[in-house]
């Protein structure tokens, strides 16, 4: 076999090819060094970022931490070297939450889910339980699936949120449980009201929210409250509480006191306020003033009555003697009779004044209320017949007895009947009845007197039991006030219904015996 000798050309060609390969190797080495430098730079950048990060960073492979940054180690109370390559992810998780962590790791490593955000309870090195929020995603690390992610300690945040919720619950409970009405107004519309506010205005919350605040104020007080609203918004709140009458409840229960101030809750200025039902307080104050007035009137009446009664008795006695001895004719005799009658009327007024001055004492005994009413009607029926007035009676059978002072109550019923007879025109009708009723769940006896007279004008209704208030030309205004005193002394109540031109109904309600 013969070997052909290489020519010079062949040798030059081989040398050229060798130089090309050496150049390729050198270029590849340059590229490798560039890549290594880039990788080192990238790793250094990543390490710098993670080492100084304020969140925990981790890399998990085969269930073990392959990398943790100092923050993650700090969160759990470790040094980084105590965890890297040694600790499993589950070892830092509260027992009850480990199944959740392992399930989430499996889902990401298997590719079922690429990334996930969730919360779990962790265990620090000293055993303290903390709350963690973690985010992790799947990646390939050194040719094997792994999970890289970050986590933060949210214990303080959750505790703050829970403290805020507790505070909100506490203050909400306080606001909802107080007896005073609490409300918030923005742009003149109610945006919040508690249950007490709803009860005070006799409606449901759905009927309040979004309504203008003046919708719940009586017409007489709207102008003053609108002005007060503007003053509060300008940080010039009125001195002391404002009073107004609210809508939605009976007039005698509608007196209200309100205090308000302007605050900013982050969504513009609002007015927060508290309103209080002061109807009972005003009624008590009125009753106290009435008692003081009555005490004064009683003292004055007693003094005047004793000073006037004796001269009147002497005048009356002498007039009666003169009427028997003098032989007067025509209108002179009538004048004398009128004088005697007027003196008798003055004596009756003095007697009522004395009744007003004396403390009212009662001596109660079981009494048939129907029989008492019938006796009063029989006594005054002749007076009613003088005006051709018909008195109709209806007494419910089988009523329980009332424990009352019969004499005092007769005085009250006679007074009501006399008023009815005076108010009823000729050929009119009066009705008297008794019945059993329930008030606030308790059984009471009712005695009522109804007339067909001219009725009582509404502006007089609130004053009809006030001493010396009268609409009669010859009245002294003491009859109904004494009636109310008698009923009050029996722990009862008196109710009046009347309209002008429609007559009046007076209803006495008295406790019945069990």
pLDDT at residue 304 in the model: 66
End-to-end CA distance of the chain: 148
Q: HSE (CB half, 13 Å, CA atoms) of 288?
A: 6
Residue 217: φ, ψ to 5°: -115, 140
SS3 letters for 120-140?
EEEECCCCCEEEEEEEEEEEE
Decide the pairing of beta strands 64-68 and 56-61: antiparallel
Residue located via tokens 């606030």: 440
159-176 pLDDT, tens digit per residue, is 888 888 888 777 777 777
pLDDT: is 503 or 23 the higher one? 503
Q: Are 257 and 242 in contact (CB under 8 A)?
A: yes
Residue located via tokens 């710098």: 48
Residue located via tokens 């009624």: 283
pLDDT greater than 90 at residue 274:
no
Q: Are 252 and 279 in contact (CB under 8 A)?
A: yes
36-50, 265-279, 399-413, range with greatest mean pLDDT: 399-413
Q: Mind giving me the DSSP string for 154-176? A: -HHHHHHHHHHHHHHHHHHHHHH
pLDDT greater than 80 at residue 198:
yes
pLDDT at residue 5 in the model: 62
Q: Which two tokens stand for residue 411?
A: 């005085």
pLDDT: is 297 or 242 the higher one? 242
User: Largest alpha-carbon pair distance within the chain?
Assistant: 198
Rg (CA), the chain: 49
296-300, 320-324, 345-349, 444-448, range with greatest mean pLDDT: 444-448
pLDDT at residue 121 in the model: 93
DSSP H helices, 367-478, are 369-385, 406-423, 458-461
What's the rounded Cα separation, in Å, for the pair 233 and 226? 11
Summarize the confidence of residues 329-358 as an average pLDDT: 71
Bridge partner list, 453: none
Residue located via tokens 């009471």: 444
pLDDT greater than 60 at residue 387:
yes
pLDDT band per the 50, 70, 90 thresholds, residue 242:
confident
pLDDT: is 71 or 319 the higher one? 71
pLDDT at residue 324 in the model: 74
Q: Which two tokens stand for residue 253?
A: 């229960």
What's the rounded Cα separation, in Å, for the pair 118 and 329? 119
What's the rounded Cα separation, in Å, for the pair 424 and 217? 39
**Residue 356 CB neighbours (<10 A):** 20
pLDDT at residue 115 in the model: 85
pLDDT band per the 50, 70, 90 thresholds, residue 96:
very high
pLDDT: is 438 or 50 the higher one? 438
Residue 186: φ, ψ to 5°: -135, 130
- Let me know how long the chain is: 514
pLDDT band per the 50, 70, 90 thresholds, residue 123:
very high
SS3 letters for 320-356?
HHHHHHCCCCCHHHHHHHHHHHHHHHHHHHHHHHHHH
Residue 316, C-beta contacts closer than 8 angstroms, at least 6 positions apart: 340, 343, 344, 347
Bridge partner list, 448: 433, 507
pLDDT band per the 50, 70, 90 thresholds, residue 35:
low
What's the rounded Cα separation, in Å, for the pair 135 and 152? 9
pLDDT greater than 60 at residue 43:
no
Q: What share of the chain is helix, strand, coil (3-state, %, to 5)?
A: 50, 25, 25
Q: Which of 511, 505, 496, 366 is nearest to 445 (CA)?
A: 511
pLDDT band per the 50, 70, 90 thresholds, residue 255:
confident
What's the rounded Cα separation, in Å, for the pair 61 and 103? 15
What's the rounded Cα separation, in Å, for the pair 75 and 128? 11
Q: Mind giving me the DSSP string for 222-269? A: HHHHHHHHHHHHTT---SS-EEEEBSSS-GGG-EEEEEEEEEE-SSSE
Domains belonging to the chain, first-starting first, are 50-158 (3.30.450.20), 178-277 (3.30.450.20), 282-357 (1.10.287), 365-511 (3.30.565.10)
Question: Range with the lowest mean pLDDT among 71-75, 232-236, 458-462?
Answer: 458-462
pLDDT at residue 122 in the model: 93
DSSP state of 3: P
């Amino acid at each position: 076999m013969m070997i052909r000798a290489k020519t010079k050309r062949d040798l030059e060609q081989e040398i050229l090819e060798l130089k090309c390969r050496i150049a390729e190797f050198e270029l590849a080495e340059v590229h490798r060094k560039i890549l290594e430098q880039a990788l080192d730079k990238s790793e250094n950048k990543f390490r710098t970022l993670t080492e100084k990060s304020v969140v925990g960073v981790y890399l998990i492979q085969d269930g073990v931490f392959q990398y943790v940054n100092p923050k993650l180690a700090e969160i759990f109370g470790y040094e980084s070297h105590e965890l890297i390559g040694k600790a499993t992810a589950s070892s830092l998780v509260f027992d009850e939450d480990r199944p959740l962590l392992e399930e989430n790791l499996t889902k990401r490593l298997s590719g079922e889910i690429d990334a996930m955000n969730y919360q779990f309870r962790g265990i620090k090195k000293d055993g303290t339980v903390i709350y963690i929020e973690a985010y992790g995603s799947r990646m390939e690390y050194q040719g094997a699936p792994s999970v890289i992610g970050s986590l933060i300690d949210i214990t303080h945040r959750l505790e703050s949120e829970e403290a805020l919720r507790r505070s909100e619950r506490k203050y909400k409970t306080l606001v909802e449980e107080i007896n005073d009405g609490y409300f918030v107004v923005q742009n003149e519309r109610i945006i919040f009201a508690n249950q007490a506010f709803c009860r005070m205005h006799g409606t449901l919350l759905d009927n309040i929210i979004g309504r203008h605040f003046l919708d719940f104020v009586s017409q007489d007080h709207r102008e003053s409250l609108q002005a007060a609203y503007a003053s509060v918004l300008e940080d010039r709140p009125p001195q002391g509480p404002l009073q107004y009458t609210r809508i939605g409840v009976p007039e005698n229960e509608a007196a209200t006191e309100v205090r308000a101030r302007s605050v900013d809750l982050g969504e513009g200025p609002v007015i927060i306020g508290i309103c209080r039902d002061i109807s009972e307080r005003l009624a008590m104050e009125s009753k106290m003033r009435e008692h003081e007035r009555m005490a004064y009137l009683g003292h004055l009446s007693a003094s005047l009555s004793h000073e006037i009664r004796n001269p009147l008795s002497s005048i009356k006695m002498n007039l009666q003697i003169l009427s028997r001895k003098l032989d007067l004719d025509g209108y002179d005799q009538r004048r004398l009779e009128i004088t005697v009658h007027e003196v008798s009327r003055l004596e009756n007024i003095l007697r009522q004044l004395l009744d007003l001055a004396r403390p009212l004492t009662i001596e109660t005994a079981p009494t048939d209320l129907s029989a008492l009413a019938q006796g009063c009607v029989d006594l005054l029926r002749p007076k009613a017949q003088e005006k051709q007035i018909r008195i109709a009676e209806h007494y419910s059978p089988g009523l329980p007895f009332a424990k009352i002072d019969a004499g005092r109550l007769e005085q009250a019923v006679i007074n009501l009947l006399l008023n009815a007879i005076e108010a009823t025109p000729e050929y009119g009708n009066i009705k008297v009845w008794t019945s059993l009723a329930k008030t606030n769940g308790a059984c009471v006896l009712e005695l009522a007197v109804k007339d067909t007279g001219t009725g009582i004008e509404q502006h007089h209704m609130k004053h009809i039991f006030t001493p010396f208030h009268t609409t009669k030309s010859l009245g002294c205004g003491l009859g109904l006030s004494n009636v109310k005193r008698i009923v009050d002394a029996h722990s009862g109540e008196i109710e009046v219904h009347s309209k002008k031109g429609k007559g009046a109904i007076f209803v006495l309600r008295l406790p019945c015996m069990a």
